[in-house]
Amino acid sequence: MIGITTTLFGINLSYHRNLSHRSFKLPKYLEYLFAYFGLLALQGDPIFWVSTHRYHHKFADKDEDPHSPIQGFWFSHISWIFNYNKILHEGGYYKNVADLKKQFYYRFLQKTIVFHVLLLPVLLYKFGGFPFIVWGMGVRTTVTYHSTFMVNSICHIWGHQAWNTGDLSKNNWFVGLFAFGEGWHNNHHAFEFSARHGLEWWQIDMTWYIIQLLERVGLATDVKLPSETLKQKMLNSNNF
């Protein structure tokens, strides 16, 4: 559970809300630590993940979207990852992540990701033998992979669309619970900049609770949230 929780926050808090959307700021040492947790989820280095995600928002549920269910459920859920070269080519080869590419740390992770991926199972085996491999690699990565994949697939097919975002994004309570708040996906597409995805009190968002805690102790700053005025304006646009 520790490994699953750590890497889920690495993806959700770091890769997604902090790096992709700049929803809040962290001290560099903490930003880099959470990003490394994301790397251990084995979903790619930060530059690749963030570039792909920004590309997804730019072309959400259009032909250029790297993982939209308009090309089929299983494509959006998992088979899109085998389309790596197409993603890079159509995404302009990381032209949308200049903010990360200018930082040595992220370039270093990009160039050395294979080393980190291979080192992890070696360390797990050293400290816990084969059971640690099964739980630390097999179970952990399966859970974290499908947490992310369900957002890409299920949350663009099934659920409730509270906001007219011009795409297929949905709020799905089950994915919201399973993926630590990422399932409130229509909220996210409506307010991409928001550090909080579960905008209602009953929309459980574990990632937001951690960001909120970091803010209260002075570690997270410039935390972005949609104003009530902006939410009302968005609601009014739903009626047209």
Contacts 24+ apart (CB under 8 A), 193-196: 193/21, 193/22, 193/23, 193/224, 193/226, 194/23, 194/224, 194/225, 194/226, 195/17, 195/23, 195/24, 195/220, 195/223, 195/224, 195/225, 196/225
* CA nearest to 141, candidates 126, 121, 119, 113: 121
Task: Tell me how crowded residue 109 is: count the other CB atoms within 10 A of its CB.
Answer: 23
- Given this model, what pLDDT does residue 239 score? 59
The string of pLDDT tens digits covering residues 157-215 is 999 999 999 999 999 999 999 999 999 999 999 999 999 999 999 999 999 999 999 99
Residue with tokens 């304006």: 233
d(CA 45, CA 31): 14
Task: Delimit the domains of the chain by residue range.
Answer: 2-237
Residue 122 tokens, joined: 């070696």
- Given this model, what pLDDT does residue 154 score? 97
- Given this model, what pLDDT does residue 94 score? 85
* CA nearest to 46, candidates 82, 13, 3, 85: 13
- Given this model, what pLDDT does residue 4 score? 84
* CA nearest to 207, candidates 3, 14, 2, 1: 14
- Given this model, what pLDDT does residue 170 score? 98
- Given this model, what pLDDT does residue 195 score? 99
- Given this model, what pLDDT does residue 127 score? 86
- Given this model, what pLDDT does residue 240 score? 52
Low-confidence ranges of the chain (pLDDT < 50): none
